[in-house]
A and B are shown apart, each in its own frame.
Chain A
Amino acid sequence: MAGVTDSELKAMTQEERVDALGLTTEQLFGRSLLIEFNPDEEERYTYPWAPDIFYNKRVEIDTDELSTTELNNKIRSAMAEGNGTIVIKNPRGMHSVGVGILNRLTLEVEGSLGYFAVGLIDGPNVRIKGRVGWSCGENMMSGTVVIEKNAGSTFGAAIRGGDLVCRGSVGSRTGIDQKGGTIIVGGDTGALSGFMMQRGRMIVCGNAGKNLGDSMYDGTIYIGGEIKSCGVDAVPAELTDLDKAWLTRKLQQYELMPDKGVDHFQKIVSGKQLWNYDNLEPNEKKLIL
């Protein structure tokens, strides 16, 4: 890979790129390439084929009469033309907007989005002035997403990185299967939030519904309000000075700092009684158990 430059990669077709990167002989389609970064090369934060964008170059897209596919293709064309700030107007609850953006970008949404908004993103900074439906930011890998109003259920399901912020309240099962990153909620969250959480942190300034952190493997949940009930194996832990410093920094960053500070936050972690770290295959487990 060291012998291939970025500009050469950009000029290649998908198949040529796979071959040049020596990734796999399997035929891959779409954006399913696995990228391996070379530790010797200079630090790089974008995918090799990601177009160069300029944040000051701005374009507005009106969603009237556009289908989801057409809108998402327009976003990609706009990025290819070097636009670093894309404004979406009149989305009116449209589903799957901005999914799979794997590049630096400022995406501003002047309205509300439906299901699966900005899922699978890696890099963009998204600002949504309205609300979002179910599964916003699902599988997000990096970047920041800030929603001004409320969000639906499964907010930030399986996110791996980045900051996913909702200033309002969110639905149930927030951060289900969270694998990294930070989820911040200004209001309340519903039942089974943090269910099977594996890593990362979740901050909820308001109340949490029943079965918070049920069956969580790892990770940390901070709740500013009341907890209706904790789920199986989710246990309270001491809020350390390090936690307080981190909470303060994160909440100040997104202007969500409660008037009474962060000292009252409750910290929930995994009791680690439900599982073990043995990494055994099921058939091996039978031998031991």
Chain B
Amino acid sequence: MRRRQAVIALGLAATTVMTALTGCSAGVSDGKVHLKMVESLTNPSRTAVLKKLIADFEKKNPKIKVDLISPPTDQADQKIQQMLQSGSGVDALEVRDITAGPWATNGWLYDMSKDLKGWAGWKDLTDNAAKYAKDAKGRTYYIPYGFYGLSLFYRTDLVKEAGFKKPPASWDELLNQASAIQDPGKRQYGYAFRGGTNANSNAVAVIEAYVADRIDRDNGFKLTSGKTIFSAPEALDAMKTYLKLFKKASPPSSVAWGYPEMVEGFSNGSTAFLLQDPEVIATVRQSKSIKESQWTTAPLLAGPSGKAVQPVATAGWGIAKGSKHKAEAVKLVEFLSQGDASTTFTKENSLVPILKGAGEDPFYRTGPWASYVTMTENPDTYLTAVQPRDASWWTEWVQKSDAELQKLLLGKMTPEELLAGWDAYWTKKWKSRT
């Protein structure tokens, strides 16, 4: 009896070990090339769209099968890092502008320049998309699938009731209109201020608008003189206006507001203005508190020179250097970056498109999307500047600047101290890199 139990126990232990080992090296033998693709900014509806596009790709390429891996967004980049570090298990992947730099530095991304030399899709890309598809040294680590760009969501009815004929076009006008609408007693606030996670992005947008005439468009944190934008006297004016916007025209608790609170504040009718990416259009459309006729969007706010600077953010599709099926992976990236596949992806995910022809699509010319077309068609007023999001210290910067902005809002720091600190930080970082 005892011997029998021992044999069973040993058998079970051996089976467990063997199962674990075979699980590590599972292979597929259906005669097809299996590509493993990982997405980063995962959400269920987006994954569904991606799966549909992959199915179309597989139909056109019957010898290629794509297995999509969709880790939860919060852990996705860390999971992708682990996969890339191990050198196998991933072929195509979503590369964000903030991950491209570090991953390329570590030698984890494949430079597609040679493979894409004669690619027909280049001519259809917008200038911005073509620009972001190459790094400073001309290497292509990813092709953008779309852009995230700011526009001003505003309540048409509240603006009218407050006696204004049109939405604000500059930060000063926003301060004026939002202050007029603010009425805490009625729980009506002017501006959905971003004080929590990623607060730095909106603060930088104000500063960039104020220094628009002198900004280095290849590095939005630099002036053409080579100094940081935070060192400019206009930056101080920008921060003072921004602080007034918080004190006079925003909910006091917005010190802690991140993306969800800002969008909720606008969607439930509590705030009249919101500066956000186009993906919010779909969310606000679902609101039961405000009707579609009560809101729309206006172009990004300008500084005193009448110009605005769009702090573009992007992500795209790239290939792992360790992939054994690079040719097939390039085919997949090309497929997703052109024609119907690209348009479907940008439309369904509310992204600014990468294709020139998309601006003619009625989808982008009407309603809240129209402001994006206005900005694209007026590049001298609405400038674009590359944000240094590929810097290896970008996340550190985000965390530092967010915490310091909260100190500013809580009165524990002055705008002068804040800007001096940011100027010193970037100057030191750039110096250490050279």
Q: Are A and B part of the same complex?
A: no
Which B residues are within 8 Å of any A CB, using their own CB?
Answer: none
